[in-house]
Structures are given as structure tokens and as C-alpha cells.
Amino acid sequence: MSEDEQLEQLIIQTLDGALQTIPVYLGEVEQNKAEFGVQNTKEFVFGLIMGMALGMTSTAIATIRHGMPSEQDQLKVRDLVYSKIPQIRERIFG
């Protein structure tokens, strides 16, 4: 498996993990809406999941490579995560 394929696999696994947390976060944010100052629970969770996917993937790459992800790595992460936005939105809003 090439390095690009390994990177893509890592991103997909990380994103899948973040997607599995959606129901938990929807419930937690809804219960604490006033405390968090949130008006739209689903939009808040969307931002949370996007941040998790981008951050966790970058951290995983940094761990594997024993250093910060390169600019090229960050672009690949962003492009792949952004390509999954329709899937993420469907899981939250669908």
C-alpha cells in the first residue's frame, strides 16, 4: 500500500470514528444548550465533528511521522474531509 493510500485510509478511519460520536454529541449538546449558548444544536455538532475529523487526523499523522504533518498532508486531509461533508451533514441532519 502506498503512502498516499495509507494516509487516505487513516483519514477515513478517523472520520468514521468521529461520525460514530454524532448521536452522543447531539444528545449532550441538546441537554446543555443553554449552558453552551447554542441556538442550533445540529449546526454546532456539525462544526464539532468537522473540527474533530481535521484535528484527530492531523494528530494521527503527526504521531505516525514523528513530526508535524506537511503542508501537502494537511491539504490531503482537508480535501478528503471536505469531500465527506455531504455524508457528515446527512448523518446529522438526515
CB 49 within 8 A of CB 19: yes
Q: What is the pLDDT of residues 58-71, one digit of tens each?
A: 887 888 778 888 88
Q: What is the pLDDT of residue 13?
A: 85
What pTM did the predictor assign?
0.83
First vs last C-alpha separation in the chain: 35
Domain extent at residue 47: 3-93
> For helices 41-65 and 85-93, what crossing angle results, to 10°?
140
Q: What is the pLDDT of residues 15-32, one digit of tens each?
A: 888 889 899 999 999 999
Angle at alpha carbon of residue 12, lines to 21 and 3, rounded to 5° = 150
How many distinct structural domains can be found in the chain?
1
Which of 25-34, 42-51, 52-61, 82-91 shows the lowest mean pLDDT across its residues? 52-61
